[in-house]
Structure 1
Amino acid sequence: MKTLVFVSLVGLFLHDTTAEMHSLKYFYTASSEVTNFPEFVIVGMVDDFQVEYYDSNTKRFVPKQDWANKITEDRADYWEEDTERAVGHQQNFKVNLDIAKRRFNQTGGVHIFQNMYGCEWDDETGDVNGFYQYGYDGEDFIVLDLKTMTWVAPQQQAVVTKQKWDNDKADLAERKQYLTQICPDWLKKYVNYGRSSLMRTDLPTVSLLQKTPSSRVTCHATGFYPNRAMMFWRKDGEELHEDISAVLQLPFDDWGKYDCVFQLSGVKEDIVTKLDKREIKTNYGKTSMRIVTFSFFQTLQIVKVFRKRLTGNLKTLIRATPINLTDELSHHICEKEQPKQSIQKMHLNVVNTGSSWQTHTHHLFIHWI
């Protein structure tokens, strides 16, 4: 007996699987008229873990991981000094938010001014990379090109800022030193502090799901770490390419030729789940399947505003707690669930040049836009 099977197969990727890439990122967010959300927030993240936090309500910089507090071994008064700095940056960001609103001829309403900066370090090759950019109301405002050490202004309203900052050679040199030397040094320290958490491997739970007899059979992976992974469908041992879409006459006996493959960085063995109707979890009992659609499925925790490596626009999505979304995917990135601790998503600002700036993980350069 044969049954019609609609095949919609896509390979989904979660970052590169080859190198062990670590990142240290700081997110500053200044907002106006956002209900139940602090006017100013700073979040520091190492890889997928929130390690530092400050907001305008508590007015205190605090560690969010026990191992993050080891930073006081290098500087005992680290959190107190960062709290003092953050209070000052809060006012600076408020000014920049007001300047941005005037540039865009805006007055009241909800508006967001953000800054994200930090660095990445490949612990296999030793390569480092830095990034620094600002966003306004969910769009790129101005971005530092680290290769040319010039600012890129995607919007006309940022051109005056670009011209001013491009002429400040001392500031550019200081930013470059921070992004290529100081930030990676602190990132390496953090990775050492949190090695047991950051370098661990959590294998996924992989399931085959189907809502109704005519809906897609979904290969669903959740609960894995790190987020460098790859997931795809395979037939007779061969990976099925992207954009394959066809209606096939597929005997039930052929189902065993298909499997869902999950590859996790740092794990040599693939996690293979055979397409077996007996293993499919359903909401409709044992109704026979006449039309089956294969696809991937993701459970995504929204916690980030900035896209990977600063490409694309800064998507403003401010929430006090993560939200769980469930999406069927055809050509999208499949992300893991976030680590078990709660990661709030916020974003950030400009940097300070105090005398002890080399002793702090983040460096906020104080400039008006």
Structure 2
Amino acid sequence: MMKIVFLLLLCCRSASSGTHSLRFFYTGSYGVMTFPEFVGVVMVDEVEVIYCDSSIGGAEPKQDWMRKLIKDDPEHMDWYSNECHTSHNTFKTTTEILMQSFNQTGGVHIYQRMFGCEWDDETAEVNGYDQYGYDGEDFIEFDLKTETWIAPTPQAVTTKHKWDNDRAGLFYIKNYLTQVCPEWLKKYVNYGRSSLLRTALPSVSLLQKTPSSPVSCHATGFYPDRAMMFWRKDGEELDEDVDQGEILPNHDGTFQMSVDLKSPAPGDWERYECVFQLSGVKEDIIKRLDKAGIRTNRGQAGITGNIIIRAASALFLFASCITGVFIWRRRKGEEQMFYS
């Protein structure tokens, strides 16, 4: 079974509080009859804003503010559509080359690339990254500090030497990751300010499957994803006897998360409370551990519904990750930004 570690690591990469991110994902597939040969997605602050694939032959905006940006700058969408087509051809050729390098003659294969930047609007710090994966494993990655490529697999060594010797190409990529990408990100954040910089508080519930099961504190419907949730006992945050869950996306663009507490002794319940903190919101949401307020699946659909929500969100996350995104290249007469 093909590993999906690389895929999930790419998507689950999270910006810290105070930062914004512009991430490009694109995925080429071989031997997958029910999936397009090439799929591209661009995400701003983990929100999908552009989508394309080889079956529709172009790019589509996914947010109202991106549609406005395109209306103000029509060439913007032309660049995306052209790159979707060009990257499809490049990925198809590259996958064939990689199959030869790995002595593969058939089967199912996935070639991916993720690149982008993060910008801290408080400190102005900028970070960039550019990496490739093949069949769920890291293939090659750009080290921005040393301006060299890192090859974790022997099959990537030849590519590393070739790309390391292309000094003009290295300079161009560094300039894009540290200069061009942040400028585009700032433009996107400005256009999408009312959506991207909004805050939405969650509904918080206590869930328990059986009387001896852990108590799950579940928050859903919050935005942005820069949030923390934890259990406290007698006012002190707990590090033990808790299981911290991941932040997962909901279908409406909001997020959910949960943190489980091992079932405490009956006489200690009043000493516990669940605390939810959202970036940009001063007041915490506190849910005290109260047996009467716990939703269970004993004659109810509460906990079952929660499990279904988590599973659906995980599938949504995977689907978002596997859609990879196209790349910006300069047009005729300009130096190509990315390697083929």
Count how many residue pairs are aligned between Structure 1 and Structure 2: 304
Q: Does 1:302 align with 2:314?
A: yes
2:205 and 2:218 in contact (8 A); partners too: yes
Any idea what SS the aligned residue of 1:223 has?
Answer: strand
Q: Does 1:96 align with 2:107?
A: no
**Structure 1: runs of 5+ lacking an equivalent:** 1-13, 287-296, 306-316, 320-342
What is the CA distance between 1:354 and its match in structure 2? 2.4
Quickly say closer, same or farther: Cα 1:249–1:142, change in 2 above 3 A.
Answer: closer
2:173 and 2:337 in contact (8 A); partners too: no
1:173 and 1:15 mapped to 2: Cα distance?
27
Coordinate RMSD, CA, aligned:
2.9
1:116 and 1:349 in contact (8 A); partners too: no
Give the number of the structure with larger relative contact order, counting CA–CA contacts within 8 Å between residues 6 or more apart.
1
- Counterparts of 1:314-353 in structure 2, within 5 Å, are 319=319, 343=320, 345-348=322-325, 352-353=329-330
- Residue 24 of structure 1 is matched in structure 2 by 22
Q: Does 1:112 align with 2:110?
A: yes
- Residue 3 of structure 2 is matched in structure 1 by none
Instruction: Give the letter for the 1:283 counterpart.
Output: N
- Residue 226 of structure 2 is matched in structure 1 by 228
1:304 and 1:346 in contact (8 A); partners too: no
2:293 and 2:54 mapped to 1: Cα distance?
50
**Structure 2: runs of 5+ lacking an equivalent:** 1-12, 244-260, 301-307
Deviations 1:34-75 (A, max 9, x none): 132111011111012111111000001121111112333663
From 69, 72, 79, the counterpart of 2:70 = 72
- TM-score, with structure 1 as normaliser: 0.75
From 320, 324, 331, the counterpart of 1:354 = 331
Instruction: Give the letter for the 1:354 counterpart.
Output: R
- Counterparts of 1:1-369 in structure 2, within 5 Å, are 19-72=17-70, 75-242=73-240, 250-252=265-267, 254-284=268-298, 299=310, 301-302=313-314, 319=319, 343=320, 345-348=322-325, 352-355=329-332, 365-367=338-340
Any idea what SS the aligned residue of 1:124 has?
Answer: coil
2:76 and 2:333 mapped to 1: Cα distance?
11
Instruction: Give the letter for the 1:265 counterpart.
Output: S
2:42 and 2:211 mapped to 1: Cα distance?
46
Quickly say closer, same or farther: Cα 1:15–1:90, change in 2 above 3 A.
Answer: closer
- TM-score, with structure 2 as normaliser: 0.81
1:84 and 1:99 mapped to 2: Cα distance?
23
Quickly say closer, same or farther: Cα 1:222–1:351, change in 2 above 3 A.
Answer: same
- Residue 313 of structure 1 is matched in structure 2 by none
1:23 and 1:118 in contact (8 A); partners too: yes
Instruction: Give the letter for the 2:265 counterpart.
Output: L
2:84 and 2:327 in contact (8 A); partners too: no
2:162 and 2:84 mapped to 1: Cα distance?
24
Quickly say closer, same or farther: Cα 1:249–1:345, change in 2 above 3 A.
Answer: closer
1:304 and 1:156 mapped to 2: Cα distance?
34
1:75 and 1:247 mapped to 2: Cα distance?
54
2:27 and 2:196 mapped to 1: Cα distance?
26
1:353 and 1:365 in contact (8 A); partners too: no
What is the CA distance between 1:298 and its match in structure 2? 8.7
Instruction: Give the letter for the 1:223 counterpart.
Output: G
Instruction: Give the letter for the 2:278 counterpart.
Output: L
In proportion to residue count, which structure has more helix?
Answer: 2
